[in-house]
Amino acid sequence: MKYDVIIVGGGAAGSVLASRLVEDPGTSVLLLEAGKDYPDPDNLPDEIKFGGTRYAESPDSEHNWALRGTITEEQGEIHVAQGKVIGGGSSINGQAMQRGLPEDFDDWASRGNTEWSYDKVLPFYRKMEKDLDIQDDFHGTDGPIPVRRRQSGDPSPIQQAFHDACLADGYSFVEDTNGANPTGVGVAPTNNLGGVRMSSALAHLSPMRHRLNLTVRGEVYVQKVLFEDRKAVGVEAVSGGETFQVFADRVVLCSGAIRSPQLLMLSGIGPRDQLEQFGIPVLQEAPGVGQSLWNHLSAHINYKVKDGVTMDPNLDGAHFSLHYTSDGSEETNDMLLRTNTVVDEREERVRGVRTRYNTADVPPERSARMSCTLGRPKGSGYVQLASADPSVQPTFNYRYLQHPDDMRRVREGIRFGARLLETEAYKDVMDYRITPTDEVLNNDDALDLYIRQTVGTARHVSGTCKMGPDSDPMTVVDQQCRVKGVENLFVADASVVPHIPRSGGLHPTALMIGERVLEWVTAA
């Protein structure tokens, strides 16, 4: 059978795009997902279903690719979680629904992507959401993804202390961090409803599964795109130990910013030297494939919570975040601070979770952390082939903190967070700071080393197939997300972003990309 569209990857963007395409009964869609498919929402495993669990991010989870990647030279290779299940990252993530800022998308437009200005993308953010708190021109009320800011119950003591410390430092409370100006401390929006993680698989895909023009196949590993001359005509995939070829008029890669560039390179599209190194015939030389790897980083302050202060993770209160501008920054709200417990104690939902945060001799259940996120990094990394064998993961390096301004801003952010911890707001909550110590905190070189040794990744991987005009030789797709130099092949996921949004999140932007690209895939 030949399909109208094959979508490779049932993650956030892929599930959205598939659900929208099949609204037209005349369009047949095959959605291929390498991980497991769960067509019955009632039979979702707890680690996918419940938003409080982080076990699915564990390297032991079957729903995680458990990749190995480099973030700094000091740490070497570390485990990097990537969703390997229907819904992709939206099925295992922290459910942050923080959009990019208007300035982010106007920056995209200034780079030659005029179809991605804030005015152009806002309708698609609104289309994909059902905001349960705010009804105005910035928010949707009829979309599939529920968005909420407040859960039932009061904030936990560590959240309340963070909120109060930010206000005491002169920041205002902001009702809507997804509005025109998120500066200040506000409640982080999430897509959790009644404790359930409302992934794109649940919210977008499930209501459309009854349609006869939609076929979803899990545990199918796509190895490459098939071409006739320079036209994409299908994919080669492995399922149940057998290799198949499946054909379509259009192919859309929605496999994420690690796998999508790998698939392009395995299909002969990418840097010539890498393709020739592994004996892959060059169909289209594209030096930008795998380059411009963006990701938010988070550096942490760990502190002991006083005995008697509840650390109960079941408190269903608000989680706060602070958007602020670093000293001397040319871009507003380039930084983010937030606080949380080190581990989730719900053992029945988080089997085998291990904390990587240094809490010294303090039990994790009495430890909390403040996280400083660099929302607008200047340095980027890369993805490269490690083999012509599709089952071998590509190598990738985020190259965190190699730009001196990135290091400066994170260093200042850690000191800012440490100062907040010493305020009156924390006197009944914090016992003492665990790391960094005063000796480290007060020495630039020592603090920089501490940050490089302990910094973590937010897993907001993006940019490796970036969009843009032909005047930029490192662009891979045009602003309609069509792969340059070939026909009928698209990339529609976070890998197309020209620069990572500074929000501290990427999930809603991936959903928006799935909505935005619909008209161009349909018209092809």
Residues 333 and 432 in one domain: yes
User: CA 201 from chain center: how many Å?
Assistant: 16
Does the residue 390 lie in any domain? no
CA dist 130 and 148 (Å) reads 9
H-state helical runs in 230-309: 256-266, 272-277
Residue 166 φ/ψ region, left for φ over 0, alpha for ψ in the -120 to 50 degree band, beta for the rest? alpha
- Tell me how far apart the alpha carbons of residues 266 and 280 are, in angstroms, rounded to a whole number: 7
Q: Are both 208 and 136 inside the same structural domain? A: yes
Residue 102 and residue 171 in one domain: no
Mean pLDDT in residue range 147-162? 84
Q: Is the pLDDT of residue 152 over 60?
A: no
Residue (of 407, 399, 517) closest to 464 by Cα position = 399
Q: Is residue 411 part of a domain?
A: yes
What pLDDT score does 342 carry?
65
- The verdict on residue 379 lying in a domain is no
Is 396 inside a domain boundary? Answer: no
Extract the runs of DSSP E, i.e. beta strands, from 329-419: 335-341, 367-374, 382-384, 395-397
pLDDT beyond 70 at 295:
yes
Residue 170 shares a structural domain with residue 318? yes
CA angle, corner 364, sides to 362 and 367, nearest 5?
Answer: 70
pLDDT for 458 equals: 83
Q: How many domains does the chain have?
A: 2
Selected catalytic residue, list 163, 204, 319, 460 = 460
Instruction: Tell me the per-residue pLDDT of 181-225, one tens digit each, with 9 for 90 and over.
Output: 999 999 989 998 888 999 999 999 999 999 999 999 999 999 999
Mean pLDDT of 230-252: 98
pLDDT given for residue 344 in this prediction: 44
**Domain check: are 249 and 354 in the same one?**
no
Looking at the chain, the whole-number percentage of residues with pLDDT higher than 90 is: 83
% of the chain beyond a pLDDT of 70: 94
Per-residue pLDDT averaged across 94-109, rounded? 94
Phi first, then psi: give them for residue 326, nearest 5 degrees: -70, 155
pLDDT tens digits for 461-491? 999 999 999 999 999 999 999 999 999 999 9
Domain that holds residue 354: 152-187+297-374+401-454
pLDDT at 420 over 80: yes
Secondary structure of 446-464 in HEC code, one letter for each residue? HHHHHHHHHCEECCCCECC
The residue length of the chain stands at 524
> In angstroms, how far is CA 302 from the centroid of its own chain?
24
Residue with tokens 């594209």: 286
361 and 438 in a single domain? The answer is: yes
- Could you tell me which residues are beta bridge partners of residue 227? 232
Residues 252 and 103 reside in one and the same domain: yes
Q: Which residue has the tokens 């404790």?
A: 195
Asked, for residue 137, whether it belongs to a domain, the answer is yes
- In this structure, are 201 and 344 located in the same domain? no
Question: Does 461 fall in a domain?
Answer: no
Q: What is the mean pLDDT of residues 107-128?
A: 98
Residue 175: both structure tokens together: 């009702």
- pLDDT above 80: residue 442: yes
pLDDT band per the 50, 70, 90 thresholds, residue 359: low
As a whole number of angstroms, the distance between CA 241 and CA 1 comes to 20
Q: Are residues 259 and 132 in the same domain?
A: yes
> Are residue 203 and residue 271 in the same domain, yes or no?
yes
Query: Which tops the pLDDT comparison, 61 or 267?
Result: 267
The CATH number of the domain holding residue 162 is 3.30.410.40
pLDDT at 350: 34
Q: By the 8 A CB rule, do 375 and 333 touch?
A: yes
pLDDT at 94: 85
Can you read off the two tokens belonging to residue 12? 């956030």
List residues bridging with 32 in a β-sheet. Answer: 8, 217
Decide if pLDDT at 303 tops 90: yes
* Six-digit token string for 43: 């039979």
- Report helix, strand or coil for 211: coil
Q: What is the structure's pLDDT at 59?
A: 86
pLDDT of amino acid 286: 99
Judge whether residue 172 has pLDDT over 50: yes
Q: Is residue 282 part of a domain?
A: yes
Cα gap 321→376, rounded to integer Å = 16
Report whether pLDDT(520) > 60: yes
Nearest to 158 by CA among 323, 342, 324, 336: 342
374-406 pLDDT tens trace: 999 999 999 999 999 999 999 999 999 999 999
* Residue 351 sits in the same domain as residue 219: no
Whichever domain contains 227, its CATH number is 3.50.50.60
Let me know: does 262 contact 350? Beta carbons within 8 Å: no
List pLDDT tens digits, range 36-93. 999 998 899 999 998 766 677 788 899 999 999 999 999 989 988 899 999 999 999 9
In a domain, 387, yes or no: no
Average pLDDT, the chain: 93
Q: What is the pLDDT of residues 308-353, one digit of tens each?
A: 998 775 555 778 999 999 999 989 999 999 998 765 433 333 333 3
Same structural domain for residues 140 and 162? no
Per-residue pLDDT band at 1 (split at 50, 70, 90): confident
Active site residue 460: yes
Which residue, of 421, 454, 487, is where some domain finishes? Answer: 454
Q: If you average pLDDT over residues 226-240, what whole number do you get?
A: 98
